Structure 1
């Protein structure tokens, strides 16, 4: 199941049982999700801090850092990405402590794959998590993520998949400086081998796209940090 055409929900699975990871990833990818996997708490927290994912599946019993510690640290960092804890710890105390640490939902092992999928679908329907997924209106443009159309007062143009993903990040965070590392992680993936010059090239492409549809918004370079989208509403 995709949240929108052309941009599958990206899920991070933090789990040390590699066979379980393989089984879950295979099924999730069949359903149209994009899945990244890491097998210990330190690595998981590093990926989470890149804020490249729409949802996190988190085990509690992990090497290096426990899932509870990962949760507490990401929430203290102000990261609001939804977390579904998936664990063998199944007492009432375990569930309460997991939810109090910052989890949005809690699923105990062993679990049926259909229940996992249903919980993911339920979390994706929560309006405060993934609202207005298919169409974003901001400033003087509208981005249609289904068709990858950018519309402004001066016309319409079609974007590539990466252009649409990059512009989506800018529009959803308009007026905020986005670090280069965050943009690379969101558009190319957390561990993608990509040169930073690729980001600069795509920013150049987007600037031309915005001009072509008559937009007055600007993507500004913040030296040493990243990029910032400015426009009529900033």
Structure 2
């Protein structure tokens, strides 16, 4: 897989050069924005295959930028780079809507591998624009959720959860699966982040409608039911 068009939003010139050199060697082209304002403007005015986003920028945080990107309908994969590598830092970034999180300093090979993996995942979902299960619809490209024809407003992470449940509708989804496939974590951070987010999603999808659509299977996980 070569020839990706990448936007890199990063204020540190040395890091920007490192990323550019790595991805150019891999056959990709990189457009660099040195601050969040320019990065948002560039992301909205041109089409990119992937965005690499620094967490700490002089004019706004990467957490704020990912929210603005998603609000503006920019749904390309986003890889966040940060010197903040604690578990809670990664969870905060992933909860905000980034698709992967890589700490600095990083190896060139890992950066390239993460970019390739993100693009493969996004490309694999492109053929399925809408997933329908029971009275629910998941519009992947528009990143919207509907039940009985009504739009359900979801945060970026809630939408990722909803999409994952819809893609695995009727199957038992374990905490380990959610940590690995939605939060991109290969370990349990020993927090209630999954229970909190599933609870929020459940309330939004069930309040005002007849019948529960989430089944909690104690000791196992959750299952999405059709109504």
Question: So what's the TM-score if we normalise by structure 2?
Answer: 0.53
Structure 1 residue 71, shift from structure 2 partner: 0.4
Q: Does 1:34 align with 2:29?
A: yes
Q: Does 1:78 align with 2:73?
A: yes
Deviations 1:183-226 (A, max 9, x none): xxxxxxxxxxxxxxxxxxxxxxxxxxxxxxxxxxxxxxxxxxxx
CA distance in 2, matches of 1:17, 1:108: 15
C-alpha contact 1:12 1:55 (8 A) present in aligned 2? yes
CA distance in 2, matches of 1:69, 1:129: 28
CA distance in 2, matches of 1:51, 1:93: 32
Which of structure 1's runs of 4+ aligned residues deviate more than 4 A?
Answer: 127-132
CA distance in 2, matches of 1:127, 1:43: 25
C-alpha contact 1:124 1:130 (8 A) present in aligned 2? no
Question: So what's the TM-score if we normalise by structure 1?
Answer: 0.51
C-alpha contact 1:14 1:39 (8 A) present in aligned 2? yes
| Aligned residue number for residue 47 of structure 1 | 42
Structure 1 residue 105, shift from structure 2 partner: 0.4
The residue correspondences of 1:102-117 to structure 2 (distance < 5 A) are 102-117=97-112
CA distance in 2, matches of 1:91, 1:127: 26
CA distance in 1, matches of 2:86, 2:19: 24
Alignment partner for residue 25 of structure 1, among 20, 33, 38?
20
The residue correspondences of 1:186-201 to structure 2 (distance < 5 A) are none
Inter-CA distance 82–37: structure 2 relative to 1 (3 Å threshold): same
Q: Secondary structure at the match of 2:57?
A: coil
| Aligned residue number for residue 156 of structure 2 | none
Deviations 1:111-156 (A, max 9, x none): 1111001111111211556757xxxxxxxxxxxxxxxxxxxxxxxx
Q: Secondary structure at the match of 1:106?
A: strand
| Aligned residue number for residue 58 of structure 1 | 53
Q: Secondary structure at the match of 2:121?
A: coil
Note the residue ranges of structure 2 that are not aligned, 5 or more in a row.
Answer: 128-140, 142-227
Q: Which has the higher contact order (CA 8 A, sep 6+)?
A: 1
